[in-house]
Structure 1
Amino acid sequence: MSERGKVHLNMIVTKTGDQGETFLNDGSRVPKTSPRIKALSQIEQVAVKLGYFLDACDLDVLHLPLPEGMTCQINLTQLANSFQQEMYDLGSDISTPITEEETNPRFPTEKVEELTALIADLTPALEPLDSFILPQGSLPVVISHDIRTTVRQAEIQVWEIEEAVNPAVPQYLNRLSDFWFVLGRILHFDDQQSDEAEIKKWEPNQKHTRGIQFQKS
């Protein structure tokens, strides 16, 4: 059995999964359609989308004004890098079934608490919402919403795992989805300061113009 967090990739094509099963970190085999493997797949998707975000932001640093004369500097590259690393920490945790005698540390609850505090500290920079916002704006804004929704899917998939899981994993994913919602709004706010981008909100049960016009040539 491999030590959790240790990976040895000497061969990529092993053919061990050709019958629809794959190995977990404890050496057991499970169907590739199991909720645990689906959760791992969703978390890997989050890691890839974070890569898109890194490319779209390209070393951007935000300077965010906060109430009471406070400011906050956000290095978007460092931020996304940290979350990308933690996706693999989550994957390592999920791929190692819980046993009565745990020897390796699990994903820590402190990470959940850290994100909770971070969201609380950043939210006062934003105006209160009176409706749902539409996922529109610059590429980093849209990718933020994409990450948010993919993280939420990963959280749902983790809750579907029938065996015991580290509770910090779905809790962290819940907070992470909230964080990327807040960050998407912050990025849109930053766009507004530079090019007056408009925030589009949901208008329930309204007649909307399609923007399609026909004319005779």
Structure 2
Amino acid sequence: MAERGTVHLNMIVTKTGDQGQTCLNDGSRISKASPRIKALASIEQVAVKLGYFIHVCEDQILQVKLPENRSCEIKLTQLATSFQQEMYDIGSDISTPFVDGEDRIRFPQESVEELTELIGRLTLALEPLDSFILPQGSLRVLIAHDIRTLVRQAEIHVWDIEEAVNPAVPQFLNRLSDFWFVLGRILFAEETQTGGTENQKWEPRQKQDRGCRFT
């Protein structure tokens, strides 16, 4: 992985990709249509969408009530920025193919475990689900669900890479999608000020009322 401070972007237009290939961190050339590059593009989409979430939330602080009179304070801008940083760490990892006997710093497995624990602790603030929820609510709730789906797409693209990849990368993306699902539910509950009200749930195979009335 490229070390922080060693990335130089002095020349944006290089024309080196005009023939449909691009360069990886090890200097090798690869098709822009390859699964590895598609994965990188998906990860960059996540980073950009996190920026939308930061803009909408500004410096908001979310107070999450937990069982046993406990709570968690979440600085939403700091939260999303931390994930933006990790998207670039992951992008650097994917951009650096594995070689035998390498001693490079890779995206850490510890981040997977840390996020797993965070999801578990925050889930305690929510009621168990008995169906899928429909992605509805405020703009920040919808962006949270949008991030969830984009992260899932990025994970799928990483699994499409035929060469060996750092297993911590798709595992982290798997957890990150789950995290944004949980956060979306928490945000919705906080906005309804009930603590237990959920989004409208999926009702399988029901005749739908379109809400159209002709007079």
Would you say same fold, with TM above 0.5? Answer: yes
Give the unaligned 5+ runs of structure 2.
none
1:47 aligns to what SS in structure 2?
helix
> Structure 2 vs 1, CA of residues 5 and 99 (structure 1 numbering), >3 Å: closer, same or farther?
farther
1:63 and 2:63 aligned: yes
Moved over 2 A (4+): 1-6, 194-198
Aligned residues: 215
> Structure 2 vs 1, CA of residues 38 and 4 (structure 1 numbering), >3 Å: closer, same or farther?
farther
Q: Which residue does the alignment assign to 2:164?
A: 164
Q: Is the 8 A contact 2:2 2:92 kept in 1?
A: no
> Structure 2 vs 1, CA of residues 62 and 2 (structure 1 numbering), >3 Å: closer, same or farther?
closer
1:125 aligns to what SS in structure 2?
coil
Q: Which residue does the alignment assign to 2:80?
A: 80
RMSD: 1.9
- Overall identity of the aligned pairs, in %: 71
Report the alpha carbon displacement of residue 103 of structure 1 after superposing the two structures with TM: 3.0
Q: Which residue does the alignment assign to 1:201?
A: 201
2:193 aligns to what SS in structure 1?
helix
Give the unaligned 5+ runs of structure 1.
none
> Structure 2 vs 1, CA of residues 124 and 11 (structure 1 numbering), >3 Å: closer, same or farther?
same
Q: Is the 8 A contact 2:189 2:198 kept in 1?
A: no
- List per-residue Cα deviations over 1:124-181 (Å, max 9, x = no partner): 1000001000000011110000000000000010001000000000000000000000
Alpha-carbon distance between aligned partners in 2 of 1:152 and 1:15, rounded to the nearest angstrom: 32
TM-score by length of 1: 0.95
TM-score by length of 2: 0.95
1:22 aligns to what SS in structure 2?
strand
Q: Which residue does the alignment assign to 1:110?
A: 110
Alpha-carbon distance between aligned partners in 2 of 1:87 and 1:146, rounded to the nearest angstrom: 16
Alpha-carbon distance between aligned partners in 1 of 2:59 and 2:164, rounded to the nearest angstrom: 39
2:160 is matched by which residue type in structure 1? E
Counting only pairs closer than 5 Å after superposition, residues 1-217 of structure 1 correspond to structure 2 as 6-193=6-193, 199-215=199-215
Report the alpha carbon displacement of residue 196 of structure 1 after superposing the two structures with TM: 9.8
> Structure 2 vs 1, CA of residues 2 and 169 (structure 1 numbering), >3 Å: closer, same or farther?
closer
